Amino acid sequence: MDRIIPIQPAPAEPSATAITPSADGLGCGAGKDAMQQAAMAAGKGEVLAQYAADYPLHPDAGPHDQPQSMCPAFGSLRVGLRMRRIATILSGSACCVYGLTFTSHFYGARRSVGYVPFNSESLVTGKLFEDIRDSVYDQADPAQYDAIVIINLCVPTASGVPLQLLPKEINGVRIIGIDVPGFGVPTHAEAKDVLAGAMLRYAREEAQAGPVAAPRQARSDKPTISLLGEMFPADPAGIAQMIAPMGLAVGTVVPTREWRELYAALDCDAVAAIHPFYTASIREFQAAGRPVVGSAPVGVDGTHDWLGAIGAATGVAQDKIDAARNATLAAIRGVLSQQKINGRITLSGYEGSELLVARLLVECGADLRYVGSACPATPWNAHDREWLQARGVQVQMRATLEQDLAAVHEYRPQLAIGTTPVVQKAKEQCIPSLYFTNLISARPLMGVAGAGSLVQVVQAAIGNQQRFDEMKAFFGETGQGDQAGVWSAVPQPHPEFKAEVRRQLEKQARRRKAEEMGS
Ligand code: SF4
User: Which residue, judged by its Cα, is nearest atom 4 of ligand 1?
Assistant: 96
Element (H, E) at 349: strand 344-349
Q: What are the pLDDT digits (tens) for 389-429?
A: 999 999 999 999 999 999 999 999 999 999 999 999 999 89
Q: What is the DSSP string of 446-513?
A: SHHHHHHHHHHHHHHHHTTHHHHHHHHHHHTTTT-GGG-S--SS-----HHHHHHHHHHHHHHHHHHH
- Cα of 90 to ligand 1 centre, how many Å? 12
Is 154 touching ligand 1 by the criterion CB < 6 Å?
Answer: yes
What does DSSP say about strands 344-349 and 367-373: parallel, antiparallel, or unpaired?
A: parallel
CA-wise closest residue to 69 among 444, 371, 437: 437
Is 96 touching ligand 1 by the criterion CB < 6 Å?
Answer: yes
Q: What are the pLDDT digits (tens) for 127-150?
A: 999 999 999 999 999 999 999 999
pLDDT for the residue numbered 12: 44
User: Which residue, judged by its Cα, is nearest atom 8 of ligand 1?
Assistant: 28
- Cα of 507 to ligand 1 centre, how many Å? 38
Q: What are the pLDDT digits (tens) for 238-247?
A: 999 999 999 9
Q: What are the pLDDT digits (tens) for 210-247?
A: 888 887 777 788 999 999 999 999 999 999 999 999 99
Strands (DSSP E) contained in 69-143 are 86-91, 114-116
CB atoms within 10 A of CB 403: 18
Plot region of 54 (φ>0 → left; ψ -120 to 50 → alpha; else → beta): alpha
What's the alpha-carbon Rg for the chain, to the nearest Å? 27
- Cα of 464 to ligand 1 centre, how many Å? 37
- Name the band, by pLDDT with cuts 50, 70 and 90, for residue 58: low
| 471 has a pLDDT exceeding 70 | yes
* Residue with the larger pLDDT of the pair 216 and 85: 85
Is 73 touching ligand 1 by the criterion CB < 6 Å?
Answer: yes
- Cα of 124 to ligand 1 centre, how many Å? 19
